[in-house]
Structure 1
Amino acid sequence: MDDHRIPKQLLYGELAQGKRPRGRPKLRYKDTCKTSLSKCEVDVNTWEERADDRTTWRTVMKEGTATLKSSYRKEQVEKRQRR
């Protein structure tokens, strides 16, 4: 295909201006919240019902963060032992 043809210019040409950011797209706030809840072992499908009752929610979150901290500490100990 000749260089002056439009399909070749579109497929193989470069943009005159602008850049696309490298890497993956930025996460939404909702996505980061779901990730955090999953790490704390809170069910992402039913967390809203648990959050309606403040005392239950506080208990769930305290247990979840304790689980997260203990698993993080275990990972750090294992990582240090591998060195």
Structure 2
Amino acid sequence: MLEKMLKQRFFRLLSEYSQRKVSASEFAEAIEELAIHLADFSINEQDYSVLLRYFSFGLHRLKSYRMRFEQEKNTLLAFD
């Protein structure tokens, strides 16, 4: 279940962000795909504990990427 979430294009783009330039439209499309996936998943999943773990995992993943980006930004600013 969690592996399927990591394979979503949104999370792949986040992980590739430091390696290549990602356009805003790519992110927008990936967010739309993720939203559709999450909506489908939540409609089909009857166990709320599974939903909570799924959403918590995604939130944790986003926070870790945010921290990494902030660290990279601070490092770049320190060199300027």
TM bucket normalised to smaller: 0.3 to 0.5
The structure whose Rg is larger is 1
TM-score (norm 1): 0.44
Q: Which has the higher helix share?
A: 2
